[in-house]
Amino acid sequence: MTEQELSNATATLEQESGAEPHGKTRRMTLNMGPQHPSTHGVLRVLLELDGETIVKAEPVIGYLHTGIEKQAEALTWQQVVTLTDRMDYLANLSNNLAYALPVEKLLGLEIPPKAQWMRVLLNELTRINSHAVWLGTHAMDLGAMTVFFYCFREREDILKIFEAFSGQRMMTSYIRIGGLALEPPRGWEKMVRTFVSGFLEKVDEYEALLTANPIFKVRTQGVGHVPLERLLDLGVTGPMIRAAGLKWDIRKNEPYSSYDKFDFDIPVYEESDVFARFRVRIDEMRQSLRIVNQAMDGMPEGPYAAVSPNVVLPDREKMKTQMEALIYHFKIVSEGFRVPAGEAYVPVESPRGEIGFYVVSDGTSKPYRVYMRTPSFGNLQALPALFEGRLIADTIAGLGSMDFVLGDVDR
């Protein structure tokens, strides 16, 4: 071996071990996505690589842009609910709620307790559903394929519950302005109870496969660390920020929809790495289960929607017997209801973080503007901070731990 070859070989070796190379090296640009198995949708990340170390990472978004914000201005207030389903397609009911709350605030509606309790219950089921999908895909990215199928087994049960409630598995549109879309179906208690009673064991099963697994630990512990201040600067919310040590959960800090009447804990970890985010979400699943149980036990009786004939559709029986009901029905369906001029914003804790709709009304039956503050978009800002200086394999762990939904990012 000549001296030249020898020095080349050492340079390559050092490069592989992560040390600074002596010789001249060229950086490689790798275009990850928008069609890549683990970018979770159509995210494109431009990576500048030195060996396998990432020097620069730049997310390119917009591949799923559907103009939902603009579309909302062309629909009536109630119709916008269906659009919110299609943003974060893993947490539809959280979106429904986040949109309904500010509009109800403008309308000055009093939501009956049963509807509020039901909203809480469904939102927590949504959280479990979303976290199950996150866990499955996250584990699959790290190579643990089986967890994916286990998680989707549980998700299937939740989707069946949603289907029973609303007739739709994903695009539920069940939480409407004024309350719920329909009376909960007969036998829903039994469905939810069956799911709840079995789910805790399933969470233990995931933990046995992952939390206790040394390979999973070395892949996630200390990976993707970002200090809390940086995360706050970037506008990150949700489990990511709770994994960095900040106890911030809108359900506790600014309770909405009677969340203050429920007893649950906010899991907080200090490490701010992929493993901490994993544990926060696993713990949240357990807490959500607690809330669901409480909601089941204390479910109040009463109407499922507010008593407000010019917003909420009358029930079919009244429509056939009472003149006023028929008129209201005609008005709501043909024109929609008018919302008093003003603006409102009510944040909601979605599985991914703070989601909120800043709605502006000019007094007509269509919104003047619906600005969507989505958690995925905020959380995605942390991507360069998570990736730079790390290895390609860590991007996979990092992407998974951010848990974004591209529909939520691009709208």
State the residues that interact with other proteins by CB under 8 A: 16-18, 28, 30, 36-38, 52, 139-146, 148-150, 153, 209-210, 213, 215-216, 218-219, 391-396
**Long-range pairs of 36-45 with CB within 8 A, sequence gap ≥ 24:** 38/137, 38/141, 38/396, 38/399, 38/400, 39/399, 40/137, 40/399, 40/400, 40/404, 40/405, 40/406, 41/405, 41/406, 41/407, 42/406, 43/380, 43/399, 43/404, 43/406, 43/409, 45/383, 45/387, 45/395
CB 241 within 8 A of CB 365: no
Report the residue number, 53 or 82, with the smaller CB distance to other proteins. 53
53 vs 293 by CB, closer to other proteins: 53
Residue 218's CB is within 10 A of a number of other CB atoms, namely 11
Q: Give me the least distance between CB of 275 and other proteins, in Å please.
A: 12
Q: How far apart are CA 205 and CA 150, in angstroms?
A: 9
User: Taking the complex as a whole, how short is the minimal distance between the CB of residue 37 and other proteins, in angstroms?
Assistant: 6
> By the 8 A CB rule, do 392 and 57 touch?
no
What's the closest the beta carbon of residue 50 comes to other proteins, in angstroms? 13
Distance, in Å, from the CA atom of 407 to the CA atom of 409, rounded to the nearest integer, reads: 6
Helices (H), 167-209: 188-209
Of the pair 221, 365, the CB lying nearest other proteins is at 221
CB of 184 to other proteins, least distance (A): 30
2 Cβ contact partners less than 8 Å away, ≥ 6 residues apart? none
Q: At what angle do helices 392-402 and 274-297 cross, to 10 degrees?
A: 20
- 49 or 60, CB closer to other proteins? 49
Q: Pick the closer one to other proteins by CB: 68 or 391.
A: 391
Say if CB 256 and CB 101 are below 8 A apart: yes
Q: How far is the CB of 386 from other proteins (least distance, A)?
A: 15
Closest to other proteins by CB, 36 or 318: 36
Q: Would strands 175-176 and 342-345 be described as parallel, antiparallel, or unpaired?
A: unpaired
To the nearest whole angstrom, how small is the minimum distance from the Cβ of residue 56 to other proteins? 15
Q: Least CB distance from residue 115 to other proteins, whole Å?
A: 36
Least distance in angstroms from the C-beta of 28 to other proteins: 6
> Please, which residue, 6 or 13, has the CB nearer to other proteins?
13
Instruction: For residue 51, give both structure tokens.
Output: 């060996």
Whichever of 25 and 365 has its CB closer to other proteins, that residue is 25
The smaller minimum CB distance to other proteins, of residues 85 and 394, is found at 394
Of the candidates 138, 165, 162, the one whose C-alpha atom is nearest the C-alpha of residue 151 is: 138
DSSP 8-state class, residue 305: B
Least separation in angstroms between CB 160 and other proteins: 16
Helices 188-209 and 145-166, interaxial angle, to 10°? 170
Which of residues 144 and 406 has its CB atom nearest to other proteins in the complex?
144
Name, in order, each residue with C-beta under 8 angstroms of 166's C-beta and a sequence gap of 6 or more. 172, 173, 174, 181, 182
Q: Output 70 or 153, the one with its CB closest to other proteins.
A: 153
Least distance between other proteins and beta carbon 405 (Å): 18
Dihedral over Cα of 362, 363, 366, 372: its sign? positive
Instruction: Please report how close the Cβ of residue 38 comes to other proteins at its closest, in angstroms.
Output: 4
DSSP string across 42-92:
S-EEEEEEETTEEEEEEEE--TT---HHHHHTTS-TTTHHHHHHTTSTT-H
